[in-house]
Chains A and B, each alone.
Chain A
Amino acid sequence: MNAKTNARRRITLTILRHNPQDANSKPRLQRYALEEAEGMTLFIALNEIREHQDASLQFDFVCRAGICGSCAMMVNGRPRLACRTLTRDLPAETTLAPLPFFALIGDLSVDTGKWMRGMSERLETWLHAREREADLSRIEERMSPDLAEAIYALDRCVECGCCVAACGTAQMRQDFVGAVGFGKIARFRLDPRDRRDDAAFYELIGDDSGVFGCMSLLACHDVCPKSLPLETQIAFLRRKMAFLSAA
């Protein structure tokens, strides 16, 4: 039942290439043809191209297991994690491009790290503890199992950048914090260990670069590789923040 010996398909990856480090580089599309293999992902395909056809091709992979969020790119116009994209789910002709919005490093590699750190600093995406120092010898503070699960459900974000790349507002406003930012605020807002109240969160996202900039197009929700409930969270935050701005 597991024998698979069908003839291999030839696939073509057309890749948007550009090296901003090189003054002579002009953005261009380059085609690479290769033979598909059983279980081939874009991780395997791109490495095969780099090792056998074009050593200069730039792209980012780290965990190659859908965990780290490094390899988001535009696959036939849609942002997704390349490592868990099987070529057999793609047409024979596929176009790959770097994520828009983020600074281009080269070819399919973009600088999500720098942007995410900036977002974290701006939204203070760390726990603002109620006590200065916990006594680490003591039994930990209790939390209900359901609440821990609910926080983890929002904590699963891998900061891949798909939501920002798909965002209509982000295409117009470079300072928009994006669904990734709202997800973080929602996560810390839910966490009783964080001392910040809604007024404090309003200071962070209560304007057009924050939650009032969202046009509710919600592509973020559709493309999130972790299926985070971004639609609900953004709507909820906007309602909470709108109450505060009216007050």
Chain B
Amino acid sequence: MKTLVTDALIIGGGLAGLRAAIGIRRRGHEVLVLSLVPPKRSHSAAAQGGMQASLANVRKGEGDTEDVHFEDTVRGSDWGADQIVARMFVQTAPKAVRELAAWGTPWSRVRGGDREVIINGQPQSINERMEAEGLIAQRDFGGTKKWRTCYVSDGTGHAMLFTVSDQAIALGVRVWERSEALCLIHDGERCHGAIVRDLVSGELTACLARATAIATGGAGRLYRVTTNAVICEGMGHALALETGVAALGNMEAVQFHPTGIFPAGILVTEGCRGDGGLLRDAEGHRFMPDYEPEKRELASRDVVSRRMEEHIRKGQGVASRFGPHLWLDITLLGRPHIERNLREVKEICESFLGIDPAEHWIPVRPAQHYTMGGVRTNHTGESPFLKGLFAAGEAACWDLHGFNRLGGNSVAETVVAGMIVGEFIADFCARPENDIPAPLPLAREFLRREEENLCALLRRPGSENAFRLIAEMQETMTQFVGIFREAEGLEQGVTQLQRLLQRSEAIGISAKTWGSNPELVAAYRVRRMLKLALTIAYGAYQRTESRGAHFREDFPQRNDRDWLKRTLAFWPDDAAATLPHLAYEPLDVKTMELPPGWRGYGARDFIPHPETGARQFQVDALRAKMRDRDRFAVQAALMPYAEYLPATLRGKNERLDEPLENPA
């Protein structure tokens, strides 16, 4: 048995994993990062728009603080977020942006003086403060009260990932590229590392670690159409789920973006519609005003996606070999506008569709975009159910996003969680009680089991094809567990997924190679993907309300009375199981800084929680009583959180309008 012992094993080489690894390494611990691909190829690189941090550098960001960012985030989550975690996040985000600046990220910068912008389709002039010249620039994003999104042109994720990856190389952080964790080594109470497969040679290694962290990103590939990279198959989620001990939180919370290009699902920005672009159907008819007379194409993401799918269901989609789609028409904006303001969109259309969007309509359809659900952790990033197992970034349900993530908060979460959880992992590794002997017999047992599974897959003459099962799963998820959900369809979806899971036991493989073998990889992953798909479908079936991106046609209201709680999905320790076990974790209204209410957009009617009124009264009274105190004192009185943060991250954030008196 090939064995490796390290302090921290990080599964996933994207922004969250690498930033955590850097923090752990800087604290003097040994760390090994596993990555399916070279780390700089991770899906973090695909983030374009930017990351939110309340620097308040630009004119339209003036008055922004952690408080405003906090409220935007909680409202965006439809009150599903953990408010302590949201506070930790908004406090750390400015530090994360500034750390990246110090490490070399070429953030776009403020130019003082007048500049022309388009707001609501109308040209407008903004005067940037001369004293802000050269500070990090910020742009507007959906669901935010201030212009808060820091960006590097339209390649923010790429620039951030290269910065962080190069810092990891500078520190000599070890990375195993083209390596995949097949299972976690655990004894039911504590996680001890993972069994790792070399995707080129096929060799298995038992990697033993004091702390193991999952930072593997999202699971978009459970759906037929997704903006996610092909590696986003949720294998990190599955590692935790298959322990039977750790839980996944809120898996039914899946975000869809209205305008993925069709059929590839590559994203074109919301800016197309923001600038005046229209959505059209097979007849060329502009259909959004029929559904949403007030906001039309510019209703919120979830609303527009819902209306588009509804229209396709009515048979109004454009038929194509790959299925129905709709059109995004930006021709009316004119070539000069497109070539100046929507350059990226133009390049994507040219490269992937071979069309010029100044002359042709763009085929689009809502595409899966983000996995809010993930490995349930407490505020330190550790699983409350399996000691020594941590998670960070999109793979985690920390839970910053609740039932809907705000644009610009995903790439921000990766580095912020990397900073915070990395510190907590380093603390964990430093504690003497975590010095435990390497459990070699246990590791051997897990390795033997994986080896037997792989051998059986290669040996048996199965009748099922792994690629076909994946395609059927993606079809099922898209058809029944997509944007619109209702009991009958979800039931059908769950049943079909259960059947696929049973059929997956009969997968046969034509290529018998032990090493690099894409068919073998598909064969062992499809069972894990199906289990994840079942946690989403079954969780969605059980949740008889609508919250954020989870929309039930048969229960269209948000129901705080019965559903202000987080779904926890466990996979039963039973080889014949085809359904997760679900449990629920209530959110405590009595401790919320921002009690549930109207989001400021979307549906106004919801069923309130019985304690909301009392808590709101308490919050209002406290704010009134403390109106002479500064915002930090008021916040600390409402919901103290500072002691949850690592001490190094507690310092106040300086802004042009909030100079620091005493240097930290």
Interface residues of A (CB under 8 A from B): 1-2, 19, 21-22, 37-39, 41, 43-44, 50-51, 55-58, 60-70, 84, 86, 88-89, 105-106, 109, 111-114, 116-117, 120-121, 124-127, 129, 131, 134-145, 148-149, 151-152, 155-156, 158-159, 188, 191, 193-194
Query: Which segment, of B162-170, B437-445, B602-610, B635-643, faces chain A?
Result: B162-170
Shortest CB distance B463–A (Å): 15
Q: Which residues of A contact B38 (CB under 8 A)?
A: 70, 112-114, 116-117, 159
Query: Which segment, of B101-109, B379-387, B551-559, B569-577, faces chain A?
Result: B101-109
Q: Which residues of B contact A60 (CB under 8 A)?
A: 37
CA distance A84 to B266 in the complex (A): 11
Question: B86-115 vs A: 1/0 string, CB under 8 Å?
Answer: 000000001101110111101111110000
Contact of A135 with B103 at beta-carbon distance under 8 Å, contacts A56-B519, A145-B111 already known: no
CA distance A138 to B45 in the complex (A): 27
Q: Is B516 an interface residue (CB 8 A)?
A: yes
**Contact yes or no, A69 B101, CB < 8 A:** no
Which residues 139-187 of B have a CB within 8 angstroms of A? 152-153, 155, 158-159, 162-163, 166-167, 169-170, 175, 177-178
Q: Which residues of A contact B101 (CB under 8 A)?
A: 134, 140-141
- Who on chain B is nearest to A159 by CB? B40
29 of the cross-chain contacts (CB-CB < 8 Å) are: A39-B263, A56-B517, A63-B46, A64-B230, A64-B266, A65-B348, A66-B351, A67-B155, A68-B43, A68-B46, A70-B41, A89-B354, A113-B37, A113-B41, A124-B170, A126-B166, A137-B95, A137-B660, A137-B664, A140-B97, A141-B102, A143-B107, A145-B108, A149-B108, A152-B108, A155-B152, A155-B162, A158-B40, A194-B104
Most A-side CB within 10 Å, residue of B97, B102, B231? B102
**Contact yes or no, B229 A152, CB < 8 A:** no
Most A-side CB within 10 Å, residue of B166, B471, B653, B655? B166
Main secondary structure of the interface of A (DSSP, over half): loop
Q: Which residues of A contact B434 (CB under 8 A)?
A: none
**Contact yes or no, A55 B106, CB < 8 A:** no
Q: Which residues of B contact A44 (CB under 8 A)?
A: 263-264
Instruction: For the A-B complex with A64-B266, A84-B351 known, give 4 more contacts whose Cβ atoms are closer than 8 Å.
Output: A2-B360, A38-B320, A105-B516, A125-B169
**Contact yes or no, B37 A148, CB < 8 A:** no
Most B-side CB within 10 Å, residue of A61, A124, A140? A140
Contact of A62 with B37 at beta-carbon distance under 8 Å, contacts A21-B201, A136-B95, A137-B95 already known: yes
Q: Is B663 an interface residue (CB 8 A)?
A: yes
Shortest CB distance B327–A (Å): 7
- Who on chain A is nearest to B361 by CB? A2
User: Which of B41, B137, B263, B664 contacts A145 (CB under 8 A)?
Assistant: B137
Question: B110-145 vs A: 1/0 string, CB under 8 Å?
Answer: 110000000000000000000001111100000000
User: Which of B230, B361, B517, B519 contacts A61 (CB under 8 A)?
Assistant: B230
User: Which of A56, A136, A151, A159 contacts B98 (CB under 8 A)?
Assistant: A136
Q: Is B651 an interface residue (CB 8 A)?
A: yes
Q: Which residues of A contact B264 (CB under 8 A)?
A: 39, 41, 43-44, 64-65
Contact of A62 with B41 at beta-carbon distance under 8 Å, contacts A145-B108, A148-B107 already known: yes
- Who on chain B is nearest to A142 by CB? B134
CA distance A140 to B289 in the complex (A): 45
The 7 closest A-B pairs by CB, nearest first: A113-B38, A142-B134, A127-B104, A134-B102, A56-B511, A55-B519, A126-B166
Shortest CB distance A178–B (Å): 16
**Contact yes or no, A37 B153, CB < 8 A:** no
Q: Which residues of B contact A63 (CB under 8 A)?
A: 41, 43, 45-46, 229
Shortest CB distance B598–A (Å): 35
Shortest CB distance A17–B (Å): 12
Shortest CB distance A114–B (Å): 7
Contact of A148 with B108 at beta-carbon distance under 8 Å, contacts A56-B517, A137-B95, A140-B136 already known: yes
User: Which of B95, B109, B318, B327 contacts A144 (CB under 8 A)?
Assistant: B109
User: Which of A116, A135, A136 contacts B663 (CB under 8 A)?
Assistant: A135
Q: Is B467 an interface residue (CB 8 A)?
A: yes
Q: Is B515 an interface residue (CB 8 A)?
A: yes
Question: B238-268 vs A: 1/0 string, CB under 8 Å?
Answer: 0000000000000000000000000110110
Shortest CB distance A112–B (Å): 7
CA distance A19 to B348 in the complex (A): 34
Shortest CB distance B227–A (Å): 8
**Contact yes or no, B155 A152, CB < 8 A:** yes
Shortest CB distance A28–B (Å): 16
**Contact yes or no, A62 B229, CB < 8 A:** yes
**Contact yes or no, B109 A39, CB < 8 A:** no
Contact of A129 with B102 at beta-carbon distance under 8 Å, contacts A124-B170, A145-B134 already known: yes
**Contact yes or no, B360 A142, CB < 8 A:** no
Q: Which residues of A contact B229 (CB under 8 A)?
A: 62-64, 68
Q: Which residues of B contact A117 (CB under 8 A)?
A: 38, 169, 175, 177
**Contact yes or no, B516 A58, CB < 8 A:** yes
Q: Is B330 an interface residue (CB 8 A)?
A: no
CA distance A225 to B99 in the complex (A): 30
Q: Which residues of B contact A194 (CB under 8 A)?
A: 104
Shortest CB distance B108–A (Å): 6
Q: Which residues of B contact A58 (CB under 8 A)?
A: 516, 518
Q: Which residues of B contact A66 (CB under 8 A)?
A: 348, 351-352
Q: Is B2 an interface residue (CB 8 A)?
A: no
- Who on chain B is nearest to A156 by CB? B155
Q: Which residues of B contact A105 (CB under 8 A)?
A: 178, 200, 516
